[in-house]
Structure 1
Amino acid sequence: MRNDLRNIAIIAHVDHGKTTLVDEMLKQSGTFQAHERVDERAMDTDDLEKERGITILAKNTALQYKEKQINILDTPGHADFGGEVERILQMVDGVLLVVDAYEGCMPQTRFVLKKALEQKLTPVVVLNKIDRENARPEEVVDEVLDLFIELGATEDQIDFPVLYASAINGTAKLPEDETDRGMEVLFDAIDEHVPAPRDTSDEPLQFQITMLEYNDFLGRIGVGRVFQGKVAHGDRAVLITRDGEERKFRVSKLFGFHGLEKQEIKEAEAGDIIAIAGVDDINVGETICLEDHVEALPALRIDEPTLKMTFLANNSPFSGLEGDHVTSRKIEERLMRQLETDVSLKVEETDSPDAWMVSGRGELHLSILIENMRREGYELQVSKPEVIIKETDGVKHEPFERVQIDVPEAYTGAVMESLGERKGEMLNMKQEGEGQTRLEFLIPSRGLVGYSTEFLSQTKGYGIINHSFDSYQPLIQGQIAGRREGVLVAKEKGKATTYSMLHLEGRGMLFVEAGTEVYEGMIVGEHSRENDLAVNITKEKAANNIRSATKEQTENLKEPRILTLEEAMQYLNDDEYCELTPQAIRIRKKTLSTSMREREQKRNKKIST
């Protein structure tokens, strides 16, 4: 056994504090020098991760503790990035399951724990935020135990150690401890309970690429675990691709990890997590062997996408005005580049050379890709998200999600009714604290598309909703309730005027501010009724010399509702697109001409009657 080494992954629900915990482990292990300045959430390096406070990309780090190296892999907590979680768990021997000592087990806790138990990994449970007001550690431990049993854990896995921690304060302790201690209690638990990797250094080399990095000088770098054997700088090796092709190359660089840095090394052996450079066009899941013994490791099993959207080149009247990359060729190149590192994404061509069907694990997964493209200067359009229907033995199946909702009692009835209309089945309902109710539903994924906006309105912003993929089940027949309200659609090109907006406020909620450039067919608000309404939002007040009695009304213009990217994606109907540029998020009708849309509506009515 490699008693000098431990490989662990940190798994948790979103915002339960695992990235902060890793930061504190690095600091207290002496990994950072005294003079080093370390940012909060140091492990989250991507701009979107820092802004949203979530982990999107899995990352690895390493620290030294009592002559042992502990390799730590920080994983995303959101189910949309399940591809990242699944790959990472292949590389480790144990997991730290971080659970909020107040919130307890949440949908993503179930999701990530299920993956870990399926891999037969050894768990260590950390109840974080133990200092939080109303923390309930004993109850949460019981919840965790129930979840382990429900997910079919083995007897050894159920006999998990428990620690109490406050990552923000840098403290941890055993349940029986009277006073808080530092992270050494956590390091000791990892050392004692997580199995050491088997020492198979004498066997032929097998190294599997689990993550990809890119360097301007070295090109693609494959990160993964040496499952058996040894590899050294300068070795002549063979890459076995996912198609079974064998490509020879020389290992030009080897890197190990220490803290947040990669360090060049000369040799690595079974159990080590390293990075290899020297071969072009490497991909996730491929195996590297030495020339004298070529044998691939089993392919990584990745959950299939559950949601798809059409990505199109922007063809609105404002096309090319705000972005640097606007052509279909540029968009296609960017999507193909994303496929190189994102194993959960699929990109398929369509009948149109300017459109692609992009499939991912959920709305967040796809919206992160879109937001990154916007920031890189791309212009594009996307359609309404649709769930992916599978057919097995002649029976259609659709994805279902497990939904957990925490909501004040006053709004429980409205939430239950709306989820019932969306074909949701209630699994559990219990009281949580004063006036709070926790609801658990199983619901078709298509019932959740566009639901979060309605949910926020129903609960006046006090409700919290979490959900994760559960399984594919037989398709539920019939339509699922969607957006009820129609939209206000601009029928003129120009700037939205305060005068027009004042007159339109009575028709519904506006989405644009005064002075915003609009075009015919662009959606500028939500109609208070179910039908769409074409409006003139660019009309100027007629000039005359009569003083208006309502001159001061401009001060009372209501605040418009500016849609975020996720809100805009969820808001779409089948006949609408979301236009995305580096400077703007707009929603529009597929058919921009007002007269053409009216003719289409009349034609559709005739067909339906």
Structure 2
Amino acid sequence: KTSRYSTKSLHKNEELIKMRNIGIAAHIDSGKTTVTERLLYYTGRIAQMHEVKGKDKVGATMDSMDLERERGITIQSAATHVTWKNHHINIIDTPGHVDFTVEVERSLRVLDGVVLVICANGGVQSQTLTVNRQINRYKVPCAVFINKIDRMAANPHKCLTQLRSKLRHNAAFVQIPIGLEGKSTGIVDVVMRKALYFEGNNGQNIVEKEIPEDLKEITEIKRTELIECVSNVDEELAELFILDQTPTVQQLKDAIRRATILRKFTPVLMGSALRNKGVQPLLDAIVEYLPNPAEVENFAFDGNTTNENGQATKLQMSSDRTGDNDLVALAFKLEQSKFGQLTYLRMYQGALYKGDNIFNVRTKKKSKASRVVRLHSNKLEDLEEAYAGDICALFGIDCASGDTFVSKVKHNISMEQMYVPDPVVSMSLKQDGRDDSGKMSKALNRFSKEDPTFTVTWDNEAEEMVVSGMGELHLEIYAQRMNNEYGLNVTLGKPKVAFRETITSRVEFDYTHKRQSGGAGQFGRLIGYIEPLPEERNTELEFLDKTVGTNVPRNYMSAIKKGFLEDCCDKGPLVGARVMGVRFVVEDGASHMVDSSDIAFRLAAQGAAAQAFEKSHKIISEPIMTVEVTAPAEFQSAVLSSINKRKGVINDQDVDSDYVTVTCDVPLNDMFGYASELRSVTEGKGEYAMEFCRYQPCREDVQEELVRQAHDAAASPVKKKVVGRKRS
């Protein structure tokens, strides 16, 4: 039986060979968005170029968000598509700032190749290292473009050395510059042995000339170096090299392509995107050296079958575009638009036609692809069909980032998931004024759904909303978006730390609650003691009944327990923090036949606890976090100094040739702002992760400051008024 797909798309496999899915990634301010703008212009996708934060106030095409144009940075990854020499290229421009690293993660997860942009002056920088780790994580073939060779102190040779030493790339020049800094006039194509000059108002006219005499020798040296680097990882070129035969241009290009696709070699190109130099050869390199979707292996897991270890069977996706295979697509990004939720899809297998029914593997829900679009920044182009290898988007699909879609509900196939880093910075979020329309809830739900590194929690103890993200800039951007897009005036601040109060010694109590106001009164007497729990249980509360006889009837024990554990421990006597690590023991008491009741004994428990707390020595405990810091080995002393300054206790150090990993225990109250400090002392190259370890008594100076703040807050008339309103 012939499917409707195969009759329509027998020619699609030829198109697959001429398709490229690439990303542009780099450290912040390396010129990614400017490079993408030039790619769009030279391929005829846009008629006029605009600059990032340019004088014309238009901004780059891929920076469509107002905040991006205002700040001059890329916040969200943006997709577009161009055509160059009959090749269809899908391009995703990614952010460079570490706070938006999840945008790079989700993009590299679905791309077949990446152009790593490096500043000729800055070289390999902090986010370059992070992006390189992401490239290695998803095994994406890579080409390097050294940008800004016209800047002062531009040094492409330093960049190549750092590529080899810091990033461990087997890299070599396929181009060399004709002049640097202000003398930059063009580039030499080492493979073709041609000098390329970019003439015209926008560098649109490429003029090929003979290599200048002063560069011929260095060109041959670099060409020999290129052949050596590639022949080390490519057998066909190695045979020619051993036989001392000079490869032809095509043989050398084919070898570079094979080695690049296998991630054994990285071609290095260069230019100045802002000065319109070297961009067209970059497009040629994308076509010639980076893989098409059929040359990249993509795997999924079949939940219906398992292997010997009981794990889902790993399947290789079929990349042909005939449509005979069942649909498998991955939703890698969600975005809220004026038309509803926009779901970005990477097609891995089969075909999708407008109006088709598709099934979410995770939820088992059926959805209809009522509108299929292709993206050009924030502009949409409707499609009738999409095939394996395509990047498209759907409207009206209810899903989460990372969901897999299939054409039949019986298929339980899930694509490999992307890595989502844990949030590292938390801040309190407060709204100025009341929100009666639910805008706050809508905004937070939308942002947390779009961005898995942005999380929202409600702290019952501190009675405040806490937002967490990858950095202070990350959270500031979302606060500003709430103001711009929803009209919400919100304020970010330091969140409250969950301190605890406890006691250090055993204290006895003997308390009688008695009240008579006409009619039945209240009476209850409790005798016993409170004591601290062992250190390993200092986050628990315990109640013991050691009464003998009927002085305290058993039916009142439940009320007494609630009086101790719930009413007394919610707010401690020192600073109003929760009381933990205490055992309440009742040994004896007294009751009245008429006046005793549950409420009487519950109030008696409250009074007994207050009496005991007043006589006891009270301390404040604070949460201690286990922190793991990773940074280049050259910054080891700076990292240790920053930890010591925050009263951290270092437990372990692990130093290899390149990186040092420090494991330590640091009070949470001292960790706020550490992300910014670590980036500062390590030139942005350090990272850290932390998790809760234990509670321990805080330092005396910290306790004194907390007690002073609590007294000042209690004495403030404004605070009293607020507390009174809450209680009422």
| TM-score, L = length of structure 1 | 0.63
Note closer, same or farther for the CA distance 1:357–1:238 as it changes in structure 2 (3 Å cut).
Answer: same
User: Structure 1 381/594 Cα, relative in aligned 2: closer, same or farther at 3 Å?
Assistant: farther
Q: Which amino acid aligns with 1:169?
A: R
Once the two structures are TM-superposed, the CA of residue 278 in structure 1 deviates from its matched residue by 3.8
Show the counterpart of 1:250.
368
Deviation, 1:370, is: 1.9
The alignment partner of 1:110 has SS state of: helix
- Decide whether the 8 Å contact of 1:305 with 1:359 is kept in 2: no
State the match for 1:237 in structure 2.
358
CA distance in 1 between counterparts of 2:396 and 2:139 reads 33
Distance 1:56 1:448 in 2: 26
Structure 2 SS opposite 1:114: helix
Following superposition, the deviation at residue 347 of structure 1 comes to 2.1
Give aligned pairs, total.
450
Distance 1:146 1:8, change over 3 A: same
In the TM superposition, residue 121 of structure 1 has moved relative to its aligned partner by: 0.7
Instruction: Name the CA distance, whole Å, in 2 between partners of 1:382 and 1:353.
Output: 15
- Matched residue type, 1:276: L
CA contact (8 A) 1:348 1:358 kept: yes
Question: Does the 8 Å contact 2:360/2:405 carry over to 1?
Answer: yes
Q: Residue in 2 aligned with 1:93?
A: 112
Aligned with residue 30 of structure 1, among 40, 44, 47? 44
Q: Is the 1:403–1:442 contact (alpha carbons within 8 Å) kept by the matching residues of 2?
A: no
Distance 2:710 2:492 in 1: 11
- Structure 1 partner of 2:80: 61
The 5-angstrom pairing of residues 114-513 of structure 1 reads 114-149=133-168, 156-172=262-278, 183-198=279-294, 199-201=319-321, 202-217=324-339, 219-240=340-361, 244-258=362-376, 261-279=379-397, 281-291=398-408, 294-298=411-415, 300-309=417-426, 311-314=428-431, 319-320=432-433, 326=435, 330-351=439-460, 355-375=464-484, 376-384=486-494, 397-400=626-629, 402=631, 421-422=645-646, 449-450=672-673, 465-469=683-687
One-letter amino acid matched to 2:487: G
Displacement after TM superposition at 1:296 (Å):
3.5
- The aligned counterpart of 1:10 is 24
Q: Which residue of 2 aligns with 1:566?
A: none
Q: 1:479, CA displacement in angstroms?
A: 12
One-letter code aligned to 2:715: S
Moved more, 26-35 or 126-135: 26-35
SS of the equivalent of 2:414 reads coil
Unaligned runs of 5+ in 1: 173-182, 389-394, 407-412, 429-438, 487-530, 533-573, 577-588, 600-609
The alpha-carbon deviation at position 295 of structure 1 amounts to 3.2
CA distance change for structure 1 residues 25 and 479 in 2, over 3 Å: closer, same or farther? farther
> Matched residues in 1 for 2:127 and 2:698: separation?
25
Structure 1 residues 363 and 442: alpha-carbon distance in aligned structure 2, compared to 1, 3 A threshold: farther
Structure 1 residue 191: Cα displacement: 0.8
Indicate conservation of the 8 Å contact 2:628/2:661, yes or no.
no
* Cα shift at 1:382: 4.0
What do residues 436-461 of structure 1 show as CA deviations (whole Å, max 9, x unaligned)?
xxx999798977743699899xx9xx
Q: Is the 8 A contact 2:358 2:406 kept in 1?
A: yes
**CA separation in 1, counterparts of 2:497 and 2:390?**
40
Amino acid at match of 1:13: H
Shift of 1:131: 0.8
Quick one: structure 1 residues 253 and 22, their matched pair in 2 at CA, closer, same or farther if it must change by over 3 Å?
Answer: same
Tell me how far apart the structure 1 counterparts of residues 165 and 461 of structure 2 sit (CA, whole Å): 51
Give yes or no for the alignment of 1:20 onto 2:244: no
Letter matched to residue 257 of structure 1: L
1:118-172 per-residue CA deviation (whole Å, 9 max, x = no partner) reads 1111000111111111111101111012223289xx9843510001121111211
Greater radius of gyration (CA): 2
**What percentage of aligned pairs have identical amino acids?**
28
Contact between 2:626 and 2:663, CA under 8 Å: does it hold in 1?
Answer: no
Structure 1 position 374, deviation (Å): 3.4
1:90-141 CA-to-partner distances (Å, cap 9, x unmatched) read 1111110111111111111111110111111100011111111111110111
Q: Say if 1:288 and 1:454 are closer, same or farther in 2 by CA, change over 3 A.
A: closer
